[in-house]
Structure 1
Amino acid sequence: MSAWNSSLPLSSLEPFTSKEAQALAAVEIHTVGDLLDWFPRRYEDRRRFDAFPAQASGEAVCLQGTVVDSARKRLGGRRQFYEIVIQEGGDNILASNKITCRWFNMPYVHRMVAVGHEVVVYGKPKEQGGRLLVDHPEFEVVQADGGSSIHLERIVPIYRNVTGVPQRRLRELLHETLARLDPASVEGPDGINLGPSRSEALSTVHFPDELDRVHEARRYFALEEFFLLQVNVLWRRRRHLEHPGRVQGRRTGLLSAFHESLPFDLTGAQKRSVHEITADLRSERPMNRLLQGDVGSGKTFVAMCAMLLAVESGSQAVLMAPTQILAEQHYLTFRKWLAALDVRLALVTGAKKESDHLDLEGEPQIVIGTHALLYDNVDFHDLGLVVIDEQHKFGVAQRGRLIQQGIMPDVLVMTATPIPRTLTLTIYGDLDVSVLDELPAGRGRIITGVREKPRVTDVTRFLKEQLGKGRQAYLVYPLVEESGAVKAASATGEFEKWQKRLGDYEVGLLHGQLKPEEKEEIMTRFRDNEIQVLVATTVVEVGVDVPNANVMVIYNAERFGLAQLHQLRGRIGRGKHQSFCILVTDGKNEDALRKLRVLEETGDGFKIAEEDLVLRGPGEVLGTAQSGMSDLRFVDFLADTELVREARALAEDLLERDPGLEGYPQLRARIEEEKGEK
């Protein structure tokens, strides 16, 4: 019997029926290698049998017993099911514990198990009509010869379902595939192996002898995945640095005038970041830098410094923001602080175009806008610096499209979403990183409190106390409108209630479904204190700057991630007044309460991000917004700092030895295909 190569199509192999091959192909499993990459989503230890339960517990149990009764029945007309009754203890006449198993619309089951059979079943019992039932349990008839089973009496892999291939059958196919596999055919690309035998790791991850060996095997594949990711990142970085850049930032007259005009001093972190950016601009290599800072750390002023250096070098600078509200706020901020410097500004969003200069004066030197900058036929005369705010909210293609409108412009990307230090290497491994880890002086303290089902009258009284002092407030809800599917309050549903409760004050409503001009009007009136209370969704999460607002009440706070709650909280505490963030929850979930307590204890966004990583795991923290991360299979291992650093070191070593990957044609082709470089 010849061994199977990993590249063999399943349709050509005897154990796979044509229907099975078609069903597997529907989920992109075409070859032996594809099937082996279909890893278990979890495991069940079925070596130890549980005692027959006296009542339902919600937990799955693994039971062994004898079938003492069976019948084919109907339920509600045409719905058929097959039922067996299993008694604990085999032939023990004193045994009285029984449990009933049922299979609906599976008539073939009655040919597989019958009275007298010794069976093992696995499933969750429930109580119904005075009986304990298990619907659709996995089962195995114990063979008379005592032969071993891959489904029971061992650690059993549980796979994602494949329509047309039952779980048991899928497990059998994988077991046979591993048994007949040619081990050499599954080794890494170009012979790159990062540890023990890859075929052994495959055997362990699918059919482990012990559960603690699963983590070791999965870690091997995580290292393999992260290594390829790091090679990709470092390759991209090296290719970027090969391009000749433009030398900017040697003249600093505008920058000095800007510093002198400020009524405050920049923080040490801001000054350090400006120095790092200036060095990049003066280099002959194109800048590719991330500016990462906590909410309120002053990234905008650092961006202004960078853009003024580009402008004085004769280049045009552009800042792209993810929302119209944020773009307009940036425009107003730039116009306020740069007015005395006679810098020509322009605003471009989907709703409007505006400039603060006459066309006769020349092209704008700084352009601020949304993604409309990509599509509204904006002509840049000499784009030298691209600043992308909240860059994780843009796709790679969108960012690339803007950058390509210049001739190798310098690039500065910014994020106010603190990223755990353990993830920075992976997500931004191709960028140099500047970190703003200080807050400007003169900011008011934020007191954060978790409240379980507070009385509306108490919240209203507190709001009126603060509003009476001339302050403003945000009331944040998770939904725009009420939903039958989600038990949570909505901004639209609560808006009129707050208007009645706060009758002496103006209440506004802001959410993402409003037209751009409506959102702009609401925000302008809130900034001007014509609206004192803003009932809103998370549309206010990023960039909204109203220093007079010092209260934020977040309802159904348990529905938000820690990082998002921290972002929302960052909308207050921007003035000199003491601020208050109230996290309202129903208190039903202990894990949610523990999460919210973190925000009570610290205002450090980086600490919060690390805690978020522990509580939710990297997959939840990153979501799909982080470009390139959604395809990772072993995303939870991103929290393993040692593993990420090992992958980085291995990738750096490979590219040091072979910068062009000439000796690794498969690996190079894979990278070029992913990045569309061919």
Structure 2
Amino acid sequence: MRGMDSPSNPPHSPAPLDDVKRRLATPVEFIRGVGPGRAQLLERLGLRTANHLLFNFPRDYQDLSDERAIENLQEGQLQSVRGVVTEVAATSSGFGKSRVAVLIADGTGHLRGVWYNQPFMRERFREGMTVLLTATPKLKGLMWEMSHPLVTTLASDEAKIDAKLLPVYSLTEGLSQYHMRRIEQSAVTEFADQLEEVFPPALLKRFQLTPLVESVRAIHQPADREELERARRRFVFQELFVLQLALSIRRSEQRQLKAYELPATPRIDARIRRLLPFELTESQAKAITEISADLALDRPMNRLLQGDVGSGKTIVALYAMLVCVANGRQAALMAPTEILARQHAETLAKLLEESRVEWALLTGGATRSERDDVLRRLADGSLNLVIGTHAVVQEDVKFKELGLVVVDEQHKFGVRQRSALRQGDVAPHYLVMTATPIPRTLSMTLFGDLDISTLQSAPAGRQPINTYLVEADREAKWWHFVRERLNEGRQAFVVAPLVDESENVAAPSVAEAFERLTNGELAAFRVGLLHGRLTSPEKQDVMERFRRGELQVLISTTVIEVGVDVPNASVMTVVGADRFGLAQLHQLRGRVGRGSRAGYCGILLGETNEAARERLDAFAKSTDGFALAELDFALRGPGDLFGTQQHGMPPLRIANLMTDRDVLEEARREAQLLVAADPGLKHADNARLRQQMLTRYGKALELGDVG
């Protein structure tokens, strides 16, 4: 795991600041054990200087405290086995499933290491090499087996390892773990003393943190687990503390901006409610009250509206936009895809049939004349409301008086995109939405600059969705069930994780599914194909044909994950489900059961491993998106929860938001206190913290000079 953004001049060093910076900036090529060839390999990992190596923390540690001979293994506890590879085998089956098995021997017996759906593991082994496998072994018949063990490749001179905790670093092709350890050891020995402490002495003492130099040494070369934990806690606290400082200062800066006051008067409220086709749920009414209170202030609202699939977020957002328009200002809604933008436009069109509100749709697929007309009307104020994609945040889009921006699927837009619409001296209010319920620890990091409203209940009339795990020998029965629903006039989705087959990823593709199903189980039906590589008009055409019923089945990637609303679609089949997070599966499942009929979701298991089966079983048993999001977060972490991290925040390098919750809470509390006491972090004691915060988060969070 990569380390912190490192400081440079130690208070205990007599060397001048420039000399220290120069030493820490020593190119890796000139560090003992590197040289020009390995320097090029380290460059691939973003490691160019001594400083980079010092803060390139191990991603894991090989615990060698319980290394055993194979004949002495016991079930139920973590153990390591050192042995020579005697056999390597790889097998594969339908829909991209694979298995790699490696047999090792140590003179007392044999042990098999097994990896499912990781075909690249085959390339890591050759017969005769010495490896260390670490996992919790199980006795399968007469053979000991480890499922997905951690692998340490040992060079001949590593036959005996004195350390009980062996650091494991991220690597690139051509660089071995053995050489990486030696390079890191050289960097720590030669350069660690040059580092400058970030925290003032008072903070170190108050939070009981080990000093920086001591922590760097311990995290690379821990004497024992206790020393490692002290060093790790220091860097976890530092990372989360700096993040929370940045978020606190962003909130403070946001509160200094001016915004239009947009009160929801009783008259405006009554006019809007007359347009709504149904009674608001209790949680919708509560969210509207919170949003209305923010809109009435002369500083910009920055609020996140989160809700489970089908909880009615769109209606709440439209209420807020109509409040804005009723106060004589303009509103904009940004959606991540043209499909979703058009769907919002359809919803708006129905609601505003009897209204005088002037609105328009602006997407990348608009003609030049259509775009020019929308831009002209936004600039002269004759257009009250615009719905669009990223096309809304282009430089040539000018508003006369923009009062509110609604961002749908917040994690698809970065902070900078969120604020790109700010023009002139008055900032718009911001309401950002997500249908992926956000665990509390994640909301304090990715969305720590926002207030949060939550929709807990679904509107009346939503149909239940029945979820089934379909074993390989039951697939024929499942497809028979799907055909029955299609013959009744229903429609169906089939979802796969990849567009095309891949040699590197063991997962099914929509191309593979389309070929197989149109020549097999669904040969008698009208089947369409949808994925992200299609052009925008092509995607729109496929969706429209499916919505009109011209297509009975849509085979798709996760492009249908959010917002796609086809009430007649009642069945979904997911292949390669182990490649998706639970929150993402829940989003996909929410595409069915949106009409008058119950929904059905079949998860094809194939040769899914035991851990994935347990996860998918939890998914099948729960329709609570909030509970699934917490479980997903615990199992997969924030990166997987939000896919490609398009929110724009740098990833956390050492902190784990599940295991470090207490540290996060403490860091957040203390950061808020420090910013309250020293709003611009201007005090000399805080100068290095301030600089690290700006280096790490200044661009991502659009922080000012804070002082």
TM-score between the two structures when normalised by the length of structure 2 = 0.77
Residues 505 and 48 of structure 1, relative CA distance in 2, 3 Å threshold: closer
Residues 299 and 30 of structure 1, relative CA distance in 2, 3 Å threshold: same
Which of 155, 177, 182 is the equivalent residue of 2:165?
Answer: 155
**Structure-1 separation of matches of 2:155 and 2:248:** 47
Q: Which amino acid aligns with 2:509?
A: S
**Structure-1 separation of matches of 2:184 and 2:352:** 66
Matched, 1:196 2:209: yes
Residues 648 and 326 of structure 1, relative CA distance in 2, 3 Å threshold: same
Which of 397, 402, 406 is the equivalent residue of 1:387?
Answer: 406
- Report the 3-state secondary structure (helix = DSSP H, G, I; strand = E; otherwise coil) of the residue aligned with 1:426: coil
Matched, 1:138 2:148: no
The count of corresponding residues between Structure 1 and Structure 2 is 610
Q: Do the aligned residues in 2 keep the contact of 1:299 with 1:414 (CA within 8 Å)? A: yes
Q: Cα deviation per residue 1:651-671 (whole Å; 9 max; x = unaligned)?
A: 011112111211122333344
Of stretches 249-258 and 545-554 in structure 1, the one that deviates more from structure 2 is: 249-258
Q: Do the aligned residues in 2 keep the contact of 1:587 with 1:593 (CA within 8 Å)? A: no
Q: Do the aligned residues in 2 keep the contact of 1:255 with 1:308 (CA within 8 Å)? A: no
**Structure-1 separation of matches of 2:424 and 2:554:** 38
**Structure-2 separation of matches of 1:623 and 1:219:** 27
Shift, 1:30, TM fit: 6.1
Residues 630 and 592 of structure 1, relative CA distance in 2, 3 Å threshold: farther
Q: Cα deviation per residue 1:410-455 (whole Å; 9 max; x = unaligned)?
A: 1111111111122111111111111111111111111111111255
Shift, 1:374, TM fit: 2.3
Q: Give the match for residue 547 of structure 2.
A: 527
Residues 516 and 9 of structure 1, relative CA distance in 2, 3 Å threshold: closer
Q: Give the match for residue 679 of structure 2.
A: 659
Q: Do the aligned residues in 1 keep the contact of 2:410 with 2:647 (CA within 8 Å)? A: no
Of stretches 541-550 and 174-183 in structure 1, the one that deviates more from structure 2 is: 174-183
**Structure-2 separation of matches of 1:172 and 1:467:** 62
**Structure-1 separation of matches of 2:595 and 2:450:** 33
Q: Give the match for residue 698 of structure 2.
A: 675
- Report the 3-state secondary structure (helix = DSSP H, G, I; strand = E; otherwise coil) of the residue aligned with 1:401: coil
Q: Give the match for residue 293 of structure 1.
A: 307
**Structure-2 separation of matches of 1:464 and 1:141:** 60
Q: Decide which structure has the larger Cα Rg and report it.
A: 1
Shift, 1:608, TM fit: 0.2
**Structure-2 separation of matches of 1:248 and 1:566:** 36
Shift, 1:40, TM fit: 1.9
Q: Give the match for residue 466 of structure 2.
A: 447
Correspondence 1:494-505 to 2 at 5 A: 494-495=513-514, 498-499=517-518, 501-502=521-522, 505=525
What's the C-alpha RMSD, in Å, of the aligned pairs? 3.8
Q: Do the aligned residues in 2 keep the contact of 1:251 with 1:313 (CA within 8 Å)? A: no
Residues 221 and 294 of structure 1, relative CA distance in 2, 3 Å threshold: same
Which of 574, 586, 591 is the equivalent residue of 1:566?
Answer: 586
Residues 32 and 4 of structure 1, relative CA distance in 2, 3 Å threshold: farther
**Structure-1 separation of matches of 2:152 and 2:250:** 53
Q: Which amino acid aligns with 2:559?
A: V
Residues 278 and 454 of structure 1, relative CA distance in 2, 3 Å threshold: farther
Q: Give the match for residue 243 of structure 2.
A: 229
**Structure-2 separation of matches of 1:135 and 1:410:** 53
Q: Cα deviation per residue 1:20-44 (whole Å; 9 max; x = unaligned)?
A: 7956984555665543322222223
Shift, 1:572, TM fit: 1.3
Shift, 1:481, TM fit: 3.0
**Structure-2 separation of matches of 1:49 and 1:635:** 28
Q: Do the aligned residues in 1 keep the contact of 2:198 with 2:689 (CA within 8 Å)? A: no
Q: Which amino acid aligns with 1:411?
A: Y
Q: Give the match for residue 24 of structure 2.
A: 9
- Report the 3-state secondary structure (helix = DSSP H, G, I; strand = E; otherwise coil) of the residue aligned with 1:306: helix
Which of 314, 322, 334 is the equivalent residue of 1:308?
Answer: 322
Correspondence 1:448-467 to 2 at 5 A: 448-453=467-472, 455=474, 457-467=476-486
Matched, 1:19 2:35: yes
Q: Do the aligned residues in 2 keep the contact of 1:267 with 1:438 (CA within 8 Å)? A: yes
- Report the 3-state secondary structure (helix = DSSP H, G, I; strand = E; otherwise coil) of the residue aligned with 2:387: strand
Q: Do the aligned residues in 1 keep the contact of 2:302 with 2:431 (CA within 8 Å)? A: yes
**Structure-2 separation of matches of 1:504 and 1:536:** 19
Shift, 1:592, TM fit: 1.1
Residues 182 and 326 of structure 1, relative CA distance in 2, 3 Å threshold: closer
Q: Do the aligned residues in 2 keep the contact of 1:44 with 1:158 (CA within 8 Å)? A: yes
Q: Cα deviation per residue 1:191-246 (whole Å; 9 max; x = unaligned)?
A: 54342322333333222232354344313211110000000000011011011221
Shift, 1:341, TM fit: 1.6
TM-score between the two structures when normalised by the length of structure 1 = 0.80
Higher relative contact order, chain-length normalized (CA < 8 Å, sep 6+): 2
Residue segments in structure 1 that go unaligned for 5+ positions in a row = 65-86, 89-94, 99-120, 126-133, 143-148
Q: Do the aligned residues in 1 keep the contact of 2:303 with 2:431 (CA within 8 Å)? A: yes
**Structure-1 separation of matches of 2:274 and 2:64:** 73
Residues 47 and 630 of structure 1, relative CA distance in 2, 3 Å threshold: same
Q: Cα deviation per residue 1:138-174 (whole Å; 9 max; x = unaligned)?
A: 34489xxxxxx9x535433233348998755654565
**Structure-2 separation of matches of 1:156 and 1:270:** 53
Of stretches 260-269 and 350-359 in structure 1, the one that deviates more from structure 2 is: 350-359
Residues 28 and 507 of structure 1, relative CA distance in 2, 3 Å threshold: closer
Shift, 1:463, TM fit: 1.9
**Structure-2 separation of matches of 1:156 and 1:612:** 29
Residue segments in structure 2 that go unaligned for 5+ positions in a row = 1-11, 74-78, 85-104, 111-129, 135-150
Matched, 1:377 2:396: yes
Q: Do the aligned residues in 2 keep the contact of 1:325 with 1:544 (CA within 8 Å)? A: yes
Residues 264 and 211 of structure 1, relative CA distance in 2, 3 Å threshold: same
Correspondence 1:428-577 to 2 at 5 A: 428-453=447-472, 455=474, 457-495=476-514, 498-499=517-518, 501-502=521-522, 505-577=525-597
Residues 553 and 18 of structure 1, relative CA distance in 2, 3 Å threshold: closer
